[in-house]
Structure 1
Amino acid sequence: MKKRLIVLSTVLTVGSLLLAACSDNQGAAPAQGSNTPTSTDAGKTAAPAANALTEQVKAADLSKLPNIAKQRTDTIIVGLTDPSGAFTPYFQKSGYDGNVSSLLYTPLVTVDNKGVPTPGLAEKWDVSSDNLTITYHLRPNLKFSDGSPITADDVAFTWTILHDKAYDGDTQVDVLHVKGGKDYKEGRAKTIEGIKVIDPLTISVTLDQPNATALVTLGSDVLSKAYYGKDYQFGQLDYLKKLHEKPVGTGPYKLDKFIPGQEVRFVANENYFNGKPKTEHFIYKTSQGDTWQFLETGEVDYASFSATKENIDKLKKLGFLNILPYTPSVYGYVQVNLEHEQLKDKKVRQAFAYGLDRQSIYVDANQGAGAIANIPSSPISWAYTEDGINPYKYDVEKAKSLLEEAGWKPGADGIREKDGKPLSIHFLGSKGKQTDDFIAVATENFKALGVKFQPEMFADFNSLVSKVNSGDFDMVTFSTSMLTDPADGLQQFVDGEIKGYNNPKFKELYDKGLATVDIEARKKIYKEIYQLMNDELPVIFTNYKKTVYAYNGRIENLSVSPFNGLSTSLPNWSLSKQP
């Protein structure tokens, strides 16, 4: 399993910080979601999904707002797990660092609520007819937070250091195959052939092969060449570490002060291209504690929770909170070990998809705060489809029939056998409610199918990953992080994460989906991919998460993007006067 940055907490980052897979208990859902005001016991029958929140609920009585929150006039506070202080884009040590830098930087190209590219610092772009060359046109009069101009030279510098042999971050620039990028990285060239500065506001980049994700990936954050490149020498990037806590950015806020273990303070950036933010001060509260308590007492203005009926009812009862439903751009799945003989057979994997009561595990046990997934895409993506997709509704008899067809017959002890070997599943999971729910239901489900189920639990995610990397497992549950482009949800099937999966047809379609930037053409390709994956089940798709955001009813103009989190609307947040 490759090392990726985990995007957690308030999910402010765009799609540049992606991880191939993360534990269901440490996934891309906001970290505050684990500090829910109430909990649900595993196996408990709860309210159906129909009772889930579908539209925003306005605060019923702002007079109930705690005094500490009433006294704030120009400051908004949000909770965040303590970042490391590495606030330079592309060099963050965790998704929490990325949440900070997302307020300090604005990308050249961002995405809208469907994941479609939309202008950021670049006012427009052109793509050549062969889809190999992208030309970005910067907005005029752009400035960094220190007042210096942003030009195409800064963009070229940013792309250059991401190709430096010393760069060891998690950007996906390498896989884009910028023309001459490999020669630069290996020291055979002094510059990168495919990068051309046309004029101070125009820059082009040429790829060796088309890639539809290149527009947004290369259109990410811009670093100041004058500041970050002053001491740059090829092969030497350590000097950047001393600049991480003193960022010069392009975003709506500037870093005021970072107090490890306590808070990150921001002040509005008067040089922000879209105008100075309406609220002068913003604070990430990083002190350890109960998020529910912080919200209830007014110490923070915003938090996220699992969208259970209990949580929603309790949040409504406080009276001073607006409540906003949110579905993040992630999907959950059960990774199966395709290198183990019993799981190589598609019929066995399909049998398990039918035989696992995913509705009970992911929807009912979470009081409707979830939905069933059957493809590697979120419902909020422009590429999502249910056309021609098998829902694999819970059907024990269908599952048994498929196992029979695959040659697995019940033995004397009720456990199915084939060629003298019993059908057993060694399951791995991280300790947590989601895993508890899975094990409780799966134990009964597999018993009904005549399968021996052997769960193994891990106290920390790194230990679980180590076990997965060793190959000593049959099944393990994971969730993706935020997915910006539909190709992101397929990355693990082409980069070796899912060992044992090697279908030439899938690879052909995957490459075809990246070879054009025409969204309508790509929709047709991804529909074909999803139908293929839904049939083959290289993993068993499980669920989509549902979350609610609760925030101080005085905050106006707040919205949450499935792909950008809060960062898009945050510059427009303002605090209304007391009622």
Structure 2
Amino acid sequence: MKIKKAGALSLSLLLGLSGCASGTQSESNEKTLTVGTSQEMSGVFSPLYYLSGFDGDVINLIYQGMLKYDAKSELNPDLAKEMPTVSEDGKTVTFKLKKGVKFSDGTKFTSSDVKYTFTVLSDPSYTGYLSTVPSNIEGYEDYYSGDAKELTGIETPDDYTVVFHLSSPMIDAVSTLGTQPICSDEQFNYEKGHTKKIEKKSGKPIGTGAYKLKSFDKSKGATFVKNDQFDFKDGEYDVDRIIIKKTDSSTELSELKKGNLDLLPANIEQSKIGQASLDKNLKVSSYKTAGEGFLGFNCASGTTKDQAVRQALAYAIDRESFVDSFFKYEEASDEVKKDLIGYVPEVYWNPVSNLVGSYVTGDETLEGLTVYRYDLEKAKQILEDAGWKVGSDGIREKDGQKLEVKFLVSVDVPALETLIPMFKKSWSEIGIDLKQSSVDYNTVLSTISDDAQVDDWSIYFVSSSYQGVIDTDSNTTLATKNPYNFSRIQDEELDNDLKAGLNTSSEEESKEYYSKAMIRENELVPYFPLYGTKAFNLYSKRVSGLTTGPVCIWSQAMKDVKLK
């Protein structure tokens, strides 16, 4: 799911370029941090168009929003000089911007760049996945569907003031507007209805952040150097060069031990975490992740269009056994053994939500929420009641259609090596024929997002990483015809609750409606969470100052990182 903003969520696998080896410095004494990733970046490095969480690391290093989250999940000014003011009715949000900020090409950052960014997202020709971000700004419909020449709901009374006028209150107005990365209005000669040229050049990022892209090779990785237009303060951004290096998941820990890598971020593999904790030259730190590993069900085509099939599949997954076995340390330091990796979520939702996250983790019980505990007999009965009868070959069928599910699987995902044999065994026991297709991660994303390929898959697996502590990400993944709704679920009751949870300035009211939406979602099962986790950063002892949190990952936490 980064998917970023519009909900701010990030699709990633949460697993853990040729260039300078880590642990070394160049002749010019540049301090280089080499970060390993087992998944390829796609090269879509525009905050207006990127989808993959791995591309999101590039965005985080290069771009800034007006606000940003810290490791404590608190919002702080970034391009804004202070936190915004919000009118009493919740419909006007005013940001005051820092002066003297420049993009990496030397152009000046002003309020015009903010308006430009949200205007492109509102353009009728915009084909990215963030069109819901500006949809509540006054004048959006006139600009998107009508003849309006500008997005009138954004005022820029001077170069350093931006005023957003909203059609209705939004519980997440400050975070949604504030954390959207801002693009330069001078990079492209923007005209309404002509965003294609912006999309085509998404591999050429120009931002106001501390780093800029030096080189990129899809099979090797990316290199970043300091942005010489950035206003560096003493004691901050000690790292001069960052290399994100494409690695092999089977050898990346060895590379870290040898000193060819400095950091393996957001790892959830017990064997790697445990081994790193026992190595005197490595350090381990953990944080609760704002995400889940989950299955997405195709609700528009094929057998999983049937709600009963989705429910049966969910009951026929022994998540507890998976979590107990996959995340159990075989060997680890005594300290790390106390730091459990995984848990079983109750519902597909943001587990660090400040309103309803405790329902996701099971720390609180939500009355009326359907909870899917492993029960093969119940799964069989659901299918029987829905008319799916066992055929002579053991596979169920209904109206001449075999109960076949087409599973789209990413390669090189250790969790799936354990999960898929479990799926095959339990699903065959309830009469389901599992067909597996293994492809690379970016192909999974491009397939599930393409309506033309909707008949080619029934189920996919990814993990989502939300980038805020709000609930409105669920509006983007569950609301009818939202571009991030890859399940393509359509349900009026769910839509109404999601809308009511969003369009209010009352936290109490928002919690009430989002709780109802959670209950309805678990009945429909468009997505099914398999596990939630803590994430573990594994890194060399030459690295210090890396402080991460649920919505502040390594690429957002470089300011205080130091290298020996």
TM-score, normalised to structure 1's length? 0.75
Q: Which residue of 2 aligns with 1:198?
A: 157
Give the alignment of 1:105-184 within 5 angstroms: 105-112=63-70, 117-122=75-80, 123-139=82-98, 142-144=101-103, 150-165=109-124, 167-172=126-131, 176-184=135-143
Q: Which runs of 5+ in 1 are unaligned?
A: 8-12, 20-26, 34-64
**Secondary structure of the structure 2 residue equivalent to 1:178:** coil
Question: After alignment, is 538-547 or 76-85 more displaced?
Answer: 76-85
With 161-170 and 513-522 compared, the bigger mean Cα shift is at 161-170
Kindly state the Cα deviation for residue 468 of structure 1 after the two structures are TM-superposed.
9.1
Shift of 1:86: 6.1
Q: Which residue matches 2:335? A: none
Per-residue deviation, 1:144: 4.6
Higher Cα Rg, which structure: 1
Deviation at 1:352, TM superposition (A): 3.5
Compute the RMSD of aligned alpha carbons. 4.1
The answer (yes or no) to whether the contact 1:483–1:489 under 8 Å persists in 2 is: no
Range that drifts further, 164-173 or 279-288 = 164-173
* Partner residue in 1 for 2:270: 309
Give deviations 1:452-479, integer Å, cap 9, x for gaps.
Answer: 3332323345376479934355544444
d(CA) in 2 for partners of 1:413 and 1:380? 45
The residue matched to 1:315 in structure 2 has which SS? helix
Q: Distance in 1 between matches of 2:415 and 2:452?
A: 19
In structure 2, how many angstroms separate the alpha carbons of the residues matched to 1:539 and 1:83?
25
Change (3 A) 1:143 1:468: closer
Match of 1:57 in 2: none
The residue aligned with 1:100 is 58
Report whether the alignment pairs 1:255 with 2:212: yes
- Change in CA separation of 1:415 and 1:235 when aligned onto 2, cut-off 3 Å: closer
Whether 1:426 and 2:414 are equivalent positions in the alignment is no
Q: Per the alignment, do residues 262 and 480 of structure 1 end up closer, same or farther by CA in structure 2, a change over 3 Å counting?
A: closer
For residues 167 and 402 of structure 1, do their structure 2 counterparts lie closer, same or farther at Cα, with a shift above 3 Å needed? closer
Distance 2:327 2:418 in 1: 9
2 CA distance for matches of 1:249 and 1:422?
52
Q: Which residue of 1 aligns with 2:290?
A: 329
Q: Deviations over 1:469-506 (max 9, x none)?
A: 34355544444353534222342322444667433221
- TM-score (norm. length: structure 2): 0.77
- Greater mean deviation of Cα atoms: 110-119 or 502-511: 110-119
2:472 matched to 1:492? no
- Tell whether the 8 Å contact from 1:285 to 1:300 is kept in structure 2 after alignment: no
Partner of 1:54: none
Q: Pairwise mapping of residues 449-464 of structure 1 onto structure 2 (< 5 A)?
A: 449=430, 451-460=431-440, 462=443
- Give the 5 Å matches for 1:223-238: 223-225=183-185, 227-228=186-187, 231-235=189-193
Q: One-letter code of the match for 1:430?
A: V
Alpha-carbon shift at residue 391 of structure 1 (Å) = 3.6
**1:542-568 CA distance string (max 9 Å, x none):** 222443211122322211232231244
Q: Structure 2 vs 1, CA of residues 142 and 173 (structure 1 numbering), >3 Å: closer, same or farther?
A: farther
Query: Conserved in 2, the CA contact under 8 Å of 1:355 and 1:445?
Result: yes
* Cα distance in 1 between the residues matched to 2:378 and 2:9: 36
Contact conserved, 2:65 with 2:182, CA < 8 A, in 1?
Answer: yes
Equivalent pair of 1:332/1:373 in contact (CA under 8 Å): no
Name the counterpart of 1:371.
343
- CA deviations 1:291-316 (Å, max 9, x no partner) are 33431221221113643332223212
Alpha-carbon distance in 1 for matches of 2:129, 2:393: 50
- Asked whether the 8 Å contact 1:269–1:276 carries over to 2, the reply is no
TM superposition shift of 1:196: 0.9
Percent identity reads 25
Distance in structure 1 (CA, Å) of the matches to 2:48 and 2:526? 31
Letter in 1 for 2:466: M
Tell me the distance in 2 between the aligned counterparts of 1:321 and 1:70.
Answer: 23
List gaps (5 residues or longer) in structure 2. Answer: 330-340
In 2 relative to 1, CA 435–557 (structure 1 residues): closer, same or farther, beyond 3 Å? closer
In 2, Cα distance between equivalents of 1:335 and 1:178? 30
Residues 166 and 367 of structure 1, relative CA distance in 2, 3 Å threshold: same
SS at match of 2:351: coil
The aligned runs of 1:350-499 (5 Å cut-off) are 350-367=311-328, 369-382=341-354, 383-384=356-357, 385=359, 386=362, 387-388=365-366, 389-403=369-383, 405-406=385-386, 424-430=403-409, 432=411, 433-449=414-430, 451-460=431-440, 462=443, 465=448, 469-471=453-455, 474-484=458-468, 485-496=470-481, 497=485
When residues 186 and 297 of structure 1 are mapped into structure 2, their CA distance, relative to the original with a 3 A threshold, is: same
Q: Mean alpha-carbon deviation: is it higher for 473-482 or for 297-306? A: 473-482
Q: Write the distance in 1 (CA, Å) between the matches of 2:306 and 2:42.
A: 45
Q: Which residue of 1 aligns with 2:504?
A: 516
Pairwise CA distance, 1:423: 7.0
Matches of 1:242 and 1:423, distance apart in 2: 42
In structure 1, give the amino acid aligned to 2:455.
Answer: G
C-alpha separation in 2, matches of 1:146 and 1:459: 38
- Write the distance in 1 (CA, Å) between the matches of 2:432 and 2:200: 54
2-structure distance, mates of 1:337, 1:489? 17
Indicate the residue corresponding to 2:337 in structure 1.
none
Partner of 2:35: 78
Corresponding letter in the other structure for 1:249: G
Secondary structure in 2 matching 1:542: strand
Cα displacement string for residues 270-307 of structure 1 (whole angstroms, at most 9, x for unaligned residues): 74386672405032144666533431221221113643
Q: Write the distance in 2 (CA, Å) between the matches of 1:452 and 1:228.
A: 52
SS at structure 2 position matched to 1:124:
coil
Structure 2 Cα separation of the partners of residues 158 and 76 of structure 1: 31
Shift of 1:103: 1.8
Moved more, 99-108 or 477-486: 477-486
Deviation at 1:509, TM superposition (A): 0.7
Alignment size in residue pairs? 523
1:186 is displaced (CA, Å) by: 6.0
